[in-house]
Amino acid sequence: MSVVQRKAMLKAEGFFAHKKNAKGTTIIYSRKHPSAKFVRVVVDSGIDNKTNKVVGKVGVKLCYVNRHKNWREITTEIFTTNTGLVKTIRAQEAAEKFVKTCKHCKAKKFTAKSGNVVCANACWTGWGKYGNKSAKETKKSSQITAQKKSQKVTPKNQRTYPLNKRVGKSSQKKPQKIVAEILPGDLVSIERIELDTFKEDYTGKVLGIVMSVTGSGRVNVNWTANTSNLESFDLPFTNHYDTRSRHVLRFKVLSRSVEWAEAA
């Protein structure tokens, strides 16, 4: 795709070029997010502003403009080919709903240089002048403590305990392979399963885009957001698992309806 075509595509999507790029020589484009306040969709065009030639892939990310007019990156920048540009823009727009929000000032949170996920407005810097607890909260806490102390504790020699019950040996089930149809371009999160029982949904904490799926079922994902306590090596990477696994983290497709089922 030529420079003219790339610029025309960005213009058709409503993007405007920035006058400067503080981090490089490529032309930066941006526009408002279609629904979220103070959030902008930012595109690194990969076009050099001096030679007007394509020097790299297109990068797309979301930024939050805080109360001091500073731009904070709230999603991981995704680099894509020219043909996948519009699709990547839509995926980043959808990722906005999974970015954590500050419970105090309602601003979006971002990952600081320290690695901590913090409020984009840095609203905690003004807490010192007001204190972190009101008198009403302190009084309530004291009342709860006093109530706990006044509760009667049964002596050990008067306590009753349930009898231990022998559990019969359960019949062992034949292990089954569980699979799901994961396709390139799917917007995915993850969910935790223990012994075939649903335990936790990570929607809103973990978000990614499926880049490719091999014939053996290995799934390559570009993870755009992860505010959970899971490391990257904990995240799923196949479209199948075995029922013998006690603890399973598996994909949850958000962009369409997909069910996990036993392999035929």
Q: Which pLDDT score, from 0 to 100, does residue 141 have? A: 65
Strand partners, 190: 251
Contacts of 249 (CB under 8 A, 6+ apart): 190, 191, 192, 193, 230, 234, 235, 236
SS3 of residue 16 by DSSP:
strand
- Whose tokens are 């075939």? That residue is 196
In this structure, what is the dihedral angle of CA atoms 86, 91, 97, 98, given to the nearest 10 degrees?
A: -150
Instruction: List the pLDDT tens digit at each of the 264 positions of the chain.
Output: 578 888 988 999 999 999 999 889 999 999 999 999 999 999 999 999 999 999 989 999 999 999 989 999 999 999 987 888 999 999 999 999 999 999 989 999 999 888 888 999 888 777 655 444 444 555 666 667 666 666 667 776 677 766 665 555 555 667 788 899 999 999 999 998 887 788 899 988 889 999 999 988 999 999 888 888 888 888 899 998 887 777 889 999 998 888 888 887
Q: Which pLDDT score, from 0 to 100, does residue 142 have? A: 65
Contacts of 163 (CB under 8 A, 6+ apart): none
Q: Which pLDDT score, from 0 to 100, does residue 166 have? A: 57
Residues 74, 42 contacting (CB under 8 angstroms): no
- 64: exposed, middle or buried (C-beta count within 10 Å: 0-12, 13-18, 19+)? buried
Structure tokens at 172: 């062992």
Q: Which pLDDT score, from 0 to 100, does residue 36 have? A: 93
Residues 47, 27 contacting (CB under 8 angstroms): yes
Contacts of 89 (CB under 8 A, 6+ apart): 13, 41, 43, 60
CA distances 121 to 94, 102, 109, Å, are 22, 9, 8
Q: Which pLDDT score, from 0 to 100, does residue 164 have? A: 60
Q: Which pLDDT score, from 0 to 100, does residue 171 have? A: 53
